[in-house]
Structures are given as C-alpha cells and as structure tokens.
Amino acid sequence: MKPTILIDADGCPVVDLTVRAAREAGLDCLIVCDTSHVFDKPGAQTWIVSKGADSVDFALVNRVQPGDIVVTQDYGLAAMCLSRGARVLRQDGLEYTVDNMDALLMARHMAKNIRRSGGRLHGNTRRTEREDQQFARALRAILAE
C-alpha cells in the first residue's frame, strides 16, 4: 500500500513543494487546514476542519496510517504521528524521529516556561530559499526509499 502525504497546512510554507513532490511520486496528498486557511491545489485533496485549538492536529493524527508521511512544524503533532508509525518531516527538512523527539519537546517546554515567566525569545527568522531546498531534498529522499 502506498503512503499518503499529509500536510498540516496552517502556516505551512512548503505546501506547493510537497504537493508537487507527491504528484511526481504518484502519491495521494491530503492538505489539512481549518476554515481560516483554505487551499485548492491541483493534485491534492483539501480537508477543511472547524476552527479550534488543535482541531487540525487531531483531525490529521486520526487520519494518519503507518508509513504515511506528515509535514508539520508542530512538535506535539509530530510526536503523535510518530507513535502511529508515520514518517514526519519539518518544513526545513529535519525529520522528526524517536531519537530526536524528546530533546525537541524538552526545548519547547523550556521555551514555554521562559515566556510564561515574562522572558522573551528571539522570533523566527525569515524563511530562506536554502530551507526550501533542504526540505525538498529531504522529502525526495524519503520518497525514494
């Protein structure tokens, strides 16, 4: 059975790259978003869920199957998808694995504690062409396996 590529599309800068790679590989691609982000991409099905805290995450994790490929920047969603047997790729090309997930979740927890105590962290940097290239390379490598 061929895997499906699922995209956590709320705030995702690599939707077009992912849909194109799925089409080239002959795989189904599912874009999951809430009602505030509507996508219509040839070669992909869009699944729109109601707005709400983590509504996209729960819809996606309930749909994912072992062997599927998930694109997300959300560590919590990534951890849930890994537990369901999916391959999970961040939008800069980092593959989430059982080996790196604990450290990533711990870093997220520490950052949350810093913000709660009034501390400030540096914001995200502007997305670069290099990150798009790294993502495309990483996705194609997974698809070639």
pLDDT at 61: 96
The yes-or-no verdict on residue 1 having pLDDT over 90 is no
In this prediction, residue 20 carries a pLDDT of: 95
Confidence bin at 51 (pLDDT 50/70/90)? confident
Q: Which of 32-41, 108-117, 123-132 has the lowest mean pLDDT?
A: 108-117
Structural domain 4-144, CATH architecture: 3-Layer(aba) Sandwich (3.40)
Q: What is the structure's pLDDT at 110?
A: 72
Q: Which of 23-27, 54-58, 95-99 has the highest mean pLDDT?
A: 23-27
Q: Using H for helix, E for strand and C for coil, what is the string for 68-134? A: CEEECCCHHHHHHHHHCCCEEECCCCCEECHHHHHHHHHHHHHHHHHHHCCCCCCCCCCCCHHHHHH
